[in-house]
Amino acid sequence: MTERLVVVGGDAAGMSAASQAKRLRGDGLEVLALERGRHASYSACGIPYWVGGVVDDEAALVARTPEEHRANGIDLRLRHEATGLDLDRRELEVRDHGTSTTYRMGFDEVVIATGARPRRPEIPGVTAPGVHGVQTLDDGEALLDTLEHSPRRAVVVGGGYIGIEMAEAMVNRGLEVTVVTRSREPMATLDPDMGAQVHQAMEDMGIDVRTSVQLREVATGQDGRATGVVTDQGELPADVVVLGTGVEPETTLAAAAGLPLGRWGGLVTDLQMRVFDADGVWAAGDCVESIDLVSGNRVHVALGTHANKQGRVAGTNLGGGYATFPGVVGTAVSKVCDLEIARTGLRERDCDAVGFRYLTVQVGSRTRAGYYPGADQVTVKLVVEQRSGRLLGGQIVGGAASAKRIDVIAVALWNRMTVEEVVSLDLGYAPPFSPTWDPVLIAARKAADLVRAG
Amino acid sequence: MTERLVVVGGDAAGMSAASQAKRLRGDGLEVLALERGRHASYSACGIPYWVGGVVDDEAALVARTPEEHRANGIDLRLRHEATGLDLDRRELEVRDHGTSTTYRMGFDEVVIATGARPRRPEIPGVTAPGVHGVQTLDDGEALLDTLEHSPRRAVVVGGGYIGIEMAEAMVNRGLEVTVVTRSREPMATLDPDMGAQVHQAMEDMGIDVRTSVQLREVATGQDGRATGVVTDQGELPADVVVLGTGVEPETTLAAAAGLPLGRWGGLVTDLQMRVFDADGVWAAGDCVESIDLVSGNRVHVALGTHANKQGRVAGTNLGGGYATFPGVVGTAVSKVCDLEIARTGLRERDCDAVGFRYLTVQVGSRTRAGYYPGADQVTVKLVVEQRSGRLLGGQIVGGAASAKRIDVIAVALWNRMTVEEVVSLDLGYAPPFSPTWDPVLIAARKAADLVRAG
């Protein structure tokens, strides 16, 4: 008998799993995919660039159209939402938002790829017109509609990746932009000393950055539209308010089905992306927790690149192959206008939390030979275990060609290298690409000296 | 009694060693440095960009002036050439080209940092006016003098790094450029399939590339100046001929002193940069051979970044500290106009030579998310051991932000990773920096599939 796989969630993780399983099993596996929204397989990471006008066309963000998925033999159902999961009966309850009907669907295997949901601040006015999240293509469309009315001032709530990317988008649209964050510095995924550099650069770009601010409410006008935000440090007027306050795993369905969740509210899987203690249940993408290979702890990292890999791993194993997702080291890159930002591994506070005793170095260098035109400034920070000299984390802030240098640190972390070992790495050198000593190596050299000095 | 260290050769390796030793030992160590040329501590790698007008000022290429070295307590003697090395007497014979006198100088420790010399083709006319090497600042000055006379056509001999960088320099100066190489494709440090992409891109830039060509002689006019080159495939007219035909270790002094040389004519040292079987003799830079950590063999790689590191390692050990130079994996990056080129590890022919049985993959991808503006094409080739799946080498050709991606492969090689492991690496992803699957990971994934298929 043909087995049936149902994938819940039709974005990166879900459709990667569906595609890979179908490719490997063909007619031997019936594959259905349920997506509650109107779009599947799109790049949520691209939304800030679409809203900012850098990417013209919404369609460009769609990696694979529903028609393409269907041509590949996947029964993709848009606006169909899984509202219940019965693990004993092996059935899903599905709401068809198109016809407003509900039906039940049996499965042999199920992949939970329900993604993440924005953490909306629970304050008065947060649902007012003129307040926009940027999680889905529909969110992006709504925000673009608001931008049609030529707003003058934008307040972006949140100083993380989405916050700074949306700040750039609003700058690109010609708005006056204020970023409000409750953190000490923007980009709290970096240590505050590196975040301060991002802060300064954003101010230099004309972006007003307010840190350590508590949001009280969204102020609204007589028409009910947002007119600004009220904070513990006064009111900030705004014609549009953008929420970039991070996400958390969307595991409502899984929790209701009795599946155990991890510390961060995400599903916990084995290396093959099978949910622990739940036969025939798989999970992938923003709704799962991953092993942090530096600390050994589970973490929640919502990133399209992990979602794609995890989905493919689940699909490969569902398809009779073998693949694993060993974990992450916490690499992320971003930019705000011309400033590139990157991080990987543990921050100082992460080290404190897990018990690593560490030292840090921070070095300023250049992205190219000093004499080569366009040599931009770049700052590299390393976090290193005392005594052992083991690399624990790295952060980079700088001009063009800074961010992807983090990959060297990420691969070093993956391989548990010490800074003493990193110093000797054979990295690409030529004047248009690097100083003779690569900035990452200069930082490692300085860190190795400190480790030796004890 | 104060010990005396004499460093022979005042460029990257020699002056790094001198500076580091002096810094650590201070007045306890007398440090002399002999440099036969008129300049010390300059970036030879920068010469093509100076000649091409990208870097305005010769002085910009000098990392540290003679005055700065002297202020640091180093007795740097320019135009003083070590012409003899007597290991029994612990003496150097030194020729002072300024006064045309010769003297002898004792030493306790000596660092040989005599660099590399260009491999000039031994053909008639190769020393004619209008034929230029680009090894030293003096070479660069001479070439710039020739360019003052508004030549129209340049022939660049050699299709390696120096050749393509000089081709770019001549293009920047507005000349018609022909590159002549005896290899099947330019950039023979890549496999021919990747070299072919460089070839095509250079032709698209308007550079005439002639491959598999044997040079017979340099043609000269009545005034004795070069007028072109004669090859086995006919004559190519030229107003200026640039030699970019590679280098070999400059070990004349060392060989005459009876020091044993390696297979490639370079000095062979231990991990601390001590010459084997020669007490108190150290070596660093382009005159030494290094361990290739992939094959285990000694190789000769003339690169400023290695010279700097090796010099610093020698200086640290001379200064009473401890440092090692474990070896190289063969990483190099370059560009010709807008095309970036990178390589690391073993090529197919290297695998054949050392006995690795391998498979290869080549994938085309993009440097950014496909929808993000400026997403350039990039091709990644991987060379992978059969069965084990161990990564053996990688090559990259592409647009902006392609070349430094080689560092990921370099660090993976350093850690002897398999492609199966590489697939899972946590590399930086965001639309302006990478597709969801980084091009290196796509290549690794394809290679892992091939390894599994046997």
- Closest in B63, B369, B411 to A425, CB measured: B411
Minimal-distance CA residue of chain A relative to B62: A371
**B164 interaction partners in chain A (CB closer than 8 Å):** none
ipTM, two decimals = 0.96
**B60 interaction partners in chain A (CB closer than 8 Å):** 370-371
Distance (Å) from the alpha carbon of A227 to chain B's nearest alpha carbon: 32
- Closest in B55, B426, B429 to A372, CB measured: B55
**A410 interaction partners in chain B (CB closer than 8 Å):** 425-428
Complete edge-to-edge strand list for the sheet that includes strand A377-385: A332-336, A339-345, A391-398, A377-385, A358-366
User: Hey, are the CB atoms on B427 and A407 less than 8 Å from each other?
Assistant: yes
Average pLDDT of every residue of chain B: 97
User: Hey, are the CB atoms on A55 and B373 less than 8 Å from each other?
Assistant: yes
CA atoms of A406 and A403, how far apart (whole Å): 6
For tokens 């007597």, the residue is B86
DSSP SS3 for A140: helix
**B308 interaction partners in chain A (CB closer than 8 Å):** 436-437
Chain A interface disruption, residue of B134, B344, B411, most A CBs within 10 A: B411
User: Hey, are the CB atoms on A433 and B12 less than 8 Å from each other?
Assistant: no
Q: Are A7 and A33 in contact (CB under 8 A)?
A: yes
Query: HSE-up of A92 (CA within 13 Å, CB side)?
Result: 26
Helices and strands, number each (H, E), in chain B: 12, 25
Label residue A183 exposed, middle or buried (CB < 10 Å: 0-12, 13-18, 19+). Answer: middle
Pairing of strands A247-249, A116-118: antiparallel
Distance (Å) from the alpha carbon of B437 to chain A's nearest alpha carbon: 6
CA atoms of B76 and B81, how far apart (whole Å): 12
**A309 interaction partners in chain B (CB closer than 8 Å):** 423-424, 437
Label residue A400 exposed, middle or buried (CB < 10 Å: 0-12, 13-18, 19+). Answer: middle
- Closest in A335, A403, A431 to B45, CB measured: A431
Average pLDDT of every residue of chain A: 97
CA B200 to chain centre: 24
- Closest in A304, A332, A436 to B304, CB measured: A436
Q: What is the model's pLDDT at position A94?
A: 98
Q: Are A170 and A177 in contact (CB under 8 A)?
A: yes
State pLDDT tens for residues A433-451: 999 999 999 999 999 999 9
Minimal-distance CA residue of chain A relative to B448: A323
Query: pTM of the entire structure?
Result: 0.97
DSSP SS3 for A415: coil
User: Hey, are the CB atoms on B330 and A408 less than 8 Å from each other?
Assistant: no
According to DSSP, the residues that pair with A336 across neighbouring strands are: A339
Length in residues, chain A: 454
- Closest in A331, A334, A405 to B426, CB measured: A331
Assess whether pLDDT exceeds 90 at residue A80: yes
CATH 3.30.390.30 fits A340-453, yes or no: yes
What are the Cα distances from residue B64, in Å, to A128, B12, B40, B43, B76?
62, 10, 8, 10, 12
Distance (Å) from the alpha carbon of A106 to chain B's nearest alpha carbon: 32
User: Hey, are the CB atoms on A429 and B303 less than 8 Å from each other?
Assistant: yes
Distance (Å) from the alpha carbon of A411 to chain B's nearest alpha carbon: 7
State pLDDT tens for residues B308-355: 999 999 999 999 999 999 999 999 999 999 999 999 999 999 999 999
User: Hey, are the CB atoms on B333 and A429 less than 8 Å from each other?
Assistant: yes
User: Hey, are the CB atoms on B333 and A433 less than 8 Å from each other?
Assistant: yes
Assess whether pLDDT exceeds 90 at residue A454: no
Chain B interface disruption, residue of A411, A417, A445, A449, most B CBs within 10 A: A411
Q: Are A157 and A215 in contact (CB under 8 A)?
A: yes
**B54 interaction partners in chain A (CB closer than 8 Å):** 372-373
User: Hey, are the CB atoms on A329 and B372 less than 8 Å from each other?
Assistant: no
For tokens 């307590």, the residue is B73
Q: How many CB pairs under 8 A join A and B?
A: 200
User: Hey, are the CB atoms on A411 and B411 less than 8 Å from each other?
Assistant: yes
Query: Per CATH, the architecture of B120-245 is what?
Result: 3-Layer(bba) Sandwich (3.50)
Residue stretches of chain B with pLDDT short of 70 = 1
**A394 interaction partners in chain B (CB closer than 8 Å):** none
Angle in degrees, CA A353, A355, A361, rounded to 5? 85
CA atoms of A400 and A417, how far apart (whole Å): 27
Assess whether pLDDT exceeds 80 at residue A309: yes
Nearest alpha carbon to residue A314 among A47, A1, A12: A12
Q: What is the model's pLDDT at position B1?
A: 67
Confidence of residue A26 (pLDDT cuts 50, 70, 90): very high
Q: Are B326 and B293 in contact (CB under 8 A)?
A: yes
Minimal-distance CA residue of chain A relative to B342: A428
Q: Which residues of B form the catalytic set?
A: 45
Nearest alpha carbon to residue A70 among A117, A19, A116, A21: A19
Chain A interface disruption, residue of B64, B272, B371, B440, most A CBs within 10 A: B371
Percent of chain A whose pLDDT exceeds 90: 97
User: Hey, are the CB atoms on A401 and B406 less than 8 Å from each other?
Assistant: no
Q: Who contacts B399 (Cβ-Cβ below 8 Å, separation ≥6)?
A: B338, B339, B340, B367, B376, B377, B378
CATH 3.30.420.40 fits B3-117+248-318, yes or no: no
Assess whether pLDDT exceeds 70 at residue A1: no
**B303 interaction partners in chain A (CB closer than 8 Å):** 429
Q: Are B39 and B136 in contact (CB under 8 A)?
A: yes
- Closest in A45, A332, A424 to B428, CB measured: A332
- Closest in A49, A431, A433 to B43, CB measured: A431
User: Hey, are the CB atoms on B46 and A334 less than 8 Å from each other?
Assistant: no
**A342 interaction partners in chain B (CB closer than 8 Å):** 428
Minimal-distance CA residue of chain B relative to A304: B436
**B331 interaction partners in chain A (CB closer than 8 Å):** 426-429
**B429 interaction partners in chain A (CB closer than 8 Å):** 45, 303-305, 331-333
Label residue B272 exposed, middle or buried (CB < 10 Å: 0-12, 13-18, 19+). Answer: middle
User: Hey, are the CB atoms on B434 and A370 less than 8 Å from each other?
Assistant: no
User: Hey, are the CB atoms on B430 and A330 less than 8 Å from each other?
Assistant: no
Q: Are A8 and A92 in contact (CB under 8 A)?
A: yes
Tell me, yes or no, if the two domains B3-117+248-318 and B120-245 fold the same way: yes
Q: Are A295 and A346 in contact (CB under 8 A)?
A: yes
Distance (Å) from the alpha carbon of A49 to chain B's nearest alpha carbon: 8
User: Hey, are the CB atoms on A410 and B428 less than 8 Å from each other?
Assistant: yes
User: Hey, are the CB atoms on B428 and A408 less than 8 Å from each other?
Assistant: no
Q: Who contacts A357 (Cβ-Cβ below 8 Å, separation ≥6)?
A: A351, A385, A386, A387
Q: What is the model's pLDDT at position A217?
A: 97
Minimal-distance CA residue of chain A relative to B369: A46
Q: What is the model's pLDDT at position B252?
A: 98
Where are chain B's structural domains?
3-117+248-318, 120-245, 340-453
Label residue B191 exposed, middle or buried (CB < 10 Å: 0-12, 13-18, 19+). Answer: buried
